[in-house]
């Protein structure tokens, strides 16, 4: 895995080689950032944004965000091994001062450990995990979002969860077995 663009372009990212995590493919990550940069339907720029990277694994999305000029990324990853590799990536890339790493369950962080607001929300839960829907509800209830924001959710292409009570879906893109949902809190 590698950083695709920005000040860290070409730098490698360490990742876990196990069945507990599913790294976001470079091509899908690149497509997401191209949508963020070029879509007229999205009113958020990565540069100077605050990003909340939930279920972050080894942090490929948030690391890419920092490389492309994000002000700060808050990573939330429950798995200790993945969080340790993410910490190694932050130190190896010399960007740990742009990041906050929280090694807790997403629910616990949203309930009591966050008070700031974010421009970009990236959800990448395991495909069999539906808890992310309640986390969308919690973010909406606590209003952790800036006026200009975007919610990005990575799911399996076949998934069909009703998110209409929590976000207004702008559009969905499909890449291989992945589906990327772009939306706004409504």
In tens, the pLDDT along 132-170 reads 999 999 999 999 999 999 999 999 999 988 999 999 999
Does residue 11 belong to any structural domain of this protein?
A: no
- Count of the separate structural domains present in the chain: 1
For residue 3, give Cα distances in angstroms to 34, 126, 177: 14, 22, 22
Does residue 19 belong to any structural domain of this protein?
A: no
Residue 18 has pLDDT above 80, yes or no: no
Q: Report how far residue 67's alpha carbon sits from residue 135's, in angstroms, rounded to the nearest whole number.
A: 27
Length of the chain: 186
Does residue 12 belong to any structural domain of this protein?
A: no
Q: Which residues span the domain enclosing 77?
A: 26-185
Output the domain CATH number for residue 159: 3.40.50.150
Does residue 20 belong to any structural domain of this protein?
A: no
Does residue 146 belong to any structural domain of this protein?
A: yes
CA-nearest of 93, 110, 107 to 8 is 93
Mean pLDDT of the chain: 93
CA-nearest of 126, 117, 120, 118 to 154 is 126
What does the pLDDT average to over 52-56?
97
Does residue 107 belong to any structural domain of this protein?
A: yes
Does residue 6 belong to any structural domain of this protein?
A: no
Q: Which residues 6+ apart lie within 8 Å of 121 measured at CB? A: 51, 52, 54, 139, 145, 149, 150, 151, 152
Does residue 30 belong to any structural domain of this protein?
A: yes
In tens, the pLDDT along 59-112 reads 999 999 999 999 999 999 999 999 999 999 999 999 999 999 999 999 999 998
Structure confidence at residue 51 (pLDDT)? 98
């Amino acid at each position: 895995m590698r950083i695709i663009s920005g000040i860290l372009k070409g730098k490698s990212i360490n990742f876990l080689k196990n069945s507990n995590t599913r790294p976001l493919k470079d091509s899908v990550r690149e497509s997401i950032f191209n949508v963020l940069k070029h879509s007229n339907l999205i009113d958020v720029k990565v540069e100077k944004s605050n990003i909340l990277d939930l279920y972050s694994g080894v942090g490929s999305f948030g690391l890419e965000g920092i490389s492309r000029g994000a002000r700060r990324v808050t990573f939330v990853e429950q798995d200790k091994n993945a969080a340790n590799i993410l910490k190694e990536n932050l130190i190896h890339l010399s960007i740990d001062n742009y990041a906050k790493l929280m090694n807790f369950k997403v629910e616990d962080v949203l309930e009591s450990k966050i008070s700031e607001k974010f421009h970009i929300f990236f959800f990448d839960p395991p495909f069999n995990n539906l808890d992310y829907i309640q986390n969308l509800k919690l973010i909406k209830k606590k209003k952790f979002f800036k006026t200009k924001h975007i919610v990005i959710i990575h799911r399996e292409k076949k998934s069909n969860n009703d998110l209409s009570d929590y976000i207004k879906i702008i559009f969905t893109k499909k890449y291989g077995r992945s589906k990327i949902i772009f939306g706004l809190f409504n």
